[in-house]
Structure 1
Amino acid sequence: MQRFRQPFWLVTVFTLLWSAAASAADYPDFVTLVERYSPAVVSINTKSEPKEKDRPWHGHPSIPENSPFFDYFKKFFDQMPELSPQPRSSVGSGFILSADGYVITNAHVVEDMDSIIVGLSDRTELPAEVVGKDTRSDIALLKVKADTPLPTVKIGNIGKVKVGQWVLAIGSPFGFERSATQGIISALGRNLPSDNYVPFIQTDAAINPGNSGGPLFNLDGEVIGVNSQIYSRSGGYQGLSFAVPIDVAVDVVEQLKAGGKVARGWLGVLIQEVTPELAQSFGLDKPRGALVGQVMDDGPALAAGVQAGDIIVAFNGQPVRHSSELPLMVGRTRPGNKVPLIVIRNGKEQTLTVQLQELPEETKLEQAIAEPPNRNRLGLIVTELPADQHQQGESGVLVKDVKEGPAASAGIRPGDIITRINNAEVANPTQFAELVGQLPTGRPVPVLIKRNNGALFLALTIAEKE
């Protein structure tokens, strides 16, 4: 029987076509996404008129009138030519949340701007007013007036977002309106050093200056984030982009609509991460939770019985794995709510009930407040606290000098105030020396210090062979 054989070239062509078709079927249809949802994406053009404080050489230098140099400098600055400051302008992005003209963008896009113009996809330009803005989440809500209903976006469910999913960003990088870029979600819940109240979405979608405030879409055309920041050493895209999760943005928007401001819960503690050394010194099986370095006066935590040295391992029924998670949980809880707080104190769990207050406007709280420990193996010399600090009710000993030894290897520096060692309060240098003499060897013990108006626990280990 003669077998039917296809020509080799025909088999090769069929294989290539089949592979191309399979690849096309697996690849996202970004064309349809852009055509369908880009009309709800807007450009934000802003302008700020020059202020008197922006004028070069504004006023005279702060020199006392009785100074021998006063007349000379006054004459010098009076004779300088007037330089006129120029208006500032910038471009950002945003998206339409409702058909009646509510628009979301970043707070930094409209900060200190006198004129805000929203550009629609049909080239219509509409003046906008700021309904409210929240610098902590970097979200601003604008309002424009249009003769006809405006196209809107769909809001996604952040709970369904997974690392590795495709995403699409649309915005105005460098002023190029409605530019589309694609990527995947690189990570969720990123905590950035300057932002303690936003669990950022990290993506590798190309984001550049001008994309700020634009939407981050999933493949269903739903907005899952507001593009906000990039990590870059050059000022341009380098593969690390961050977006505010849409649930955070919507919560901020609802509060801005209702009262023009955002109210966040405040616990009233200064915290730090639990390192492996600190975990061992506190008797934990592994690092977890948020270590309380200081309890703020007249704060909710103080009223609830929280103490320095407590390790917060759960807040309102949610486990606290890292210290960076606690500010997010507290901030999203409404002030006035009573919530359970589980802490580890002296190796045992305790449940406390705390009634949150509103986070003060100008106070940076509930964040790791000190730099990582200095690993240089130095020693220390301590003295009494200055008289004025004693009068203010402070206790402890002041570190005056450092020499080689285990204390400095834990990160203690000159100028630190040691207030507690191995869970014992420090009163004066004599008592401090007694406590040091009683310290165990071969295992870390916690030391509480004050540094730069903040509190910090360090893990100190005295070697078995001294």
Structure 2
Amino acid sequence: MKNTRFLAAIAASAAIALGGLALWQVSYAGNPPPVKLDHKSLPLFNNPPAAVGQTAAVGGPNFSSIVKRFGPTVVHINVRGETTTTGGPDMSQVPPQLRNSPFFQFFQQFQNQGPREVPTEGLGSGFIISSDGLVLTNAHVVKGAKSVTVTLTDQRSYKAKVLGTDAKTDIAVLKIAATGLPTVRIGDPSKLEPGDWVLAIGSPYGFYNTVTAGIVSAKSRALPDDSMVPFIQTDVAVNPGNSGGPLFDTQGEAVGINSQIFTQTGAFEGLSFAIPINVAEAVARQIIEHGQVQHGKLGIAVQTVTQQLANSFGLQNPRGALVAQVSDGSAAAKAGLKAGDIILSVNGQPVNDSTDLPMMIGMMQPGQKVKLGVWSNHRQTTLDATLGSFSEGSLVADAGSTASGHGLGLQVRPLNPAEQSQAQVHSGLLVQGVSGPAEQAGVQPGDILLAIDGKAVSSVAQVRSILKSAGNTVALLIQRGHARIFVPVDLG
């Protein structure tokens, strides 16, 4: 049987309905009005003295003093909500010969019941970031909650208010009516290196204050639908219920928030992912100060620059983010960005890969001015852009993927007016046949060829002219449906 891999948001979600057990589906907790908190004398993220550095023991470091010092800053979160059930069993699927059965008559009474709300219950973890009761956790832990209860390690429980959530970064801030609480010490994720020891504290499967440890496996991982977050990948055992709990380094400093696992079974299989604490801190400040979070938007779709694509655009080394699509009227369009440009830097900070750009832009504010270093028409230039505001369904800087192969070999024809209207393009060539090089590169009949090496094409003659002066590799800009991507083709 074929295994299906999936990314699981790891808040344990046990829904109780008529004695059954099901996964709990929840929705937004919403963005309440700003809460006035006096933090002039009390920093948002209190930083008590660092824990004493650990002495490496045989087999690894001893984390016991970190757990004793900062374990009390980790909380257990219990969430109650409601979910809508369907209207009962579909008795129309029962074979006619079985409809005289007493079981059919028994279940038939439930068929006409309409959708109804049933109680749900879920759990997760969090940690205290200020002594007056601010708690950081994942947005998916409290999504759609009717009530949230925070339990401390000394068994004190408090009803919590959700100050706000941000689904794009999976961050939420809670407030409980308590003072004098212990707080985590905030670390610097940029100092982490693959191979460094880290530990997690949380409530996997409801087991309060469970401690697990491992190493940093990789940094700046991009995950599907989470393009704004450069995840820290670890092999720390993280399971349902660990969501929202802290990831500590060997100095006892919180460097991340455990958020997701990559699994075939729904349980830990060696791949866990944490949100860097600096990302969480920036989002939390917006929630506390404004009750909501805003993200900057360029309005482009980008993809990784492979060596073949770099060769096609005259770039010596594969780096940066290749612009595959620019939204009409977006900040990118107004700045003069176009498909085929490669963004090399933002405000002087290098863009090493396409996965860097969404996080860099998304964590900026709408209206903020940015200076983009761009490779365009075989030379480097600079463009100034004023970021727009991100909203659902819009592109910040979406990272795509590429296909590769050998050669060209296309049968194309110009689009007629009806096809242009349907595809929402002004020019291009419809791919009618694919063979050899283009077929191996992933081009398919029905695709629309928009450009070669950044030069728009609307006739077969233009294609031939461009290919005469092309190098060993060309980049085809292909539209399939409403998605666009550059496909590198090796001409040999």
Q: Paired residue for 1:451?
A: 480
Letter in 2 for 1:453: H
Contact kept in structure 2, 1:440 and 1:462, CA below 8 Å: no
Give me the CA root mean square deviation: 2.7
Map Cα deviations across residues 199-224 of structure 1 (whole Å, 9 max, x no partner): 11111111111100001112222211
Q: Distance in 2 between matches of 1:459 and 1:223?
A: 42
2:398 counterpart SS class = coil
Q: Paired residue for 2:315?
A: 284
Letter in 1 for 2:253: E
Report percent identity of matched pairs: 45
1:346 maps onto 2:394 in alignment: no
Contact kept in structure 2, 1:422 and 1:439, CA below 8 Å: no
Pairing partner for 1:382 from 385, 398, 412: 412
Q: Paired residue for 2:62?
A: 29
1:121 maps onto 2:153 in alignment: yes
Q: Paired residue for 2:171?
A: 139
C-alpha spacing 1:399/1:77, structure 2 compared with 1 (3 Å): farther
C-alpha spacing 1:28/1:405, structure 2 compared with 1 (3 Å): closer
Q: Distance in 1 between matches of 2:119 and 2:408?
A: 54
Q: Paired residue for 2:51?
A: none
Structure 2 unpaired stretches of 5+? 1-54, 93-106
Structure 1 unpaired stretches of 5+? 1-21, 62-75
Q: Paired residue for 1:17?
A: none
Letter in 2 for 1:451: R
Map Cα deviations across residues 127-158 of structure 1 (whole Å, 9 max, x no partner): 11211001111111111113x42222111123
Contact kept in structure 1, 2:402 and 2:487, CA below 8 Å: no
1:345: Cα distance to partner? Answer: 1.5
Contact kept in structure 1, 2:339 and 2:454, CA below 8 Å: no
Q: Distance in 1 between matches of 2:108 and 2:416?
A: 44
Pairing partner for 1:356 from 387, 405, 408: 387
C-alpha spacing 1:393/1:407, structure 2 compared with 1 (3 Å): closer
Q: Distance in 2 between matches of 1:207 and 1:381?
A: 51
Pairing partner for 1:95 from 121, 124, 127: 127
- How many residue pairs end up in the alignment? 421
Letter in 1 for 2:199: L
Q: Distance in 2 between matches of 1:152 and 1:446?
A: 53
Q: Paired residue for 1:18?
A: none
1:116: Cα distance to partner? Answer: 1.1
Q: Distance in 2 between matches of 1:77 and 1:450?
A: 51
1:460: Cα distance to partner? Answer: 2.5
Q: Paired residue for 1:373?
A: 403
Contact kept in structure 2, 1:383 and 1:397, CA below 8 Å: yes
1:60: Cα distance to partner? Answer: 13
Flag the structure with more relative contact order, 1 or 2, with Cα contacts below 8 A and sequence separation at least 6. 2
C-alpha spacing 1:395/1:441, structure 2 compared with 1 (3 Å): closer
Pairing partner for 1:215 from 240, 246, 249: 246
1:23: Cα distance to partner? Answer: 6.5
1:190 maps onto 2:225 in alignment: no
Contact kept in structure 2, 1:421 and 1:435, CA below 8 Å: no
Greater gyration radius: 1
Letter in 1 for 2:297: W
C-alpha spacing 1:219/1:40, structure 2 compared with 1 (3 Å): same
1:255: Cα distance to partner? Answer: 0.3
Q: How high is the TM-score relative to the length of structure 1?
A: 0.83
Q: Paired residue for 2:4?
A: none
Map Cα deviations across residues 14-46 of structure 1 (whole Å, 9 max, x no partner): xxxxxxxx9748953322211221111111111
Greater fraction of residues in strand: 2
Q: Distance in 2 between matches of 1:386 and 1:224?
A: 56
C-alpha spacing 1:425/1:118, structure 2 compared with 1 (3 Å): same
Matches within 5 A, 1:254-403: 254-369=285-400, 371-373=401-403, 375=405, 379-391=409-421, 394-402=426-434
Q: Which moved more, 1:183-192 or 1:290-299?
A: 183-192
Q: Which moved more, 1:254-263 or 1:416-425?
A: 416-425
Pairing partner for 2:73 from 36, 40, 53: 40
Contact kept in structure 1, 2:303 and 2:402, CA below 8 Å: no
1:88 counterpart SS class = strand
Contact kept in structure 2, 1:303 and 1:354, CA below 8 Å: yes
1:406: Cα distance to partner? Answer: 2.1
Greater fraction of residues in helix: 1
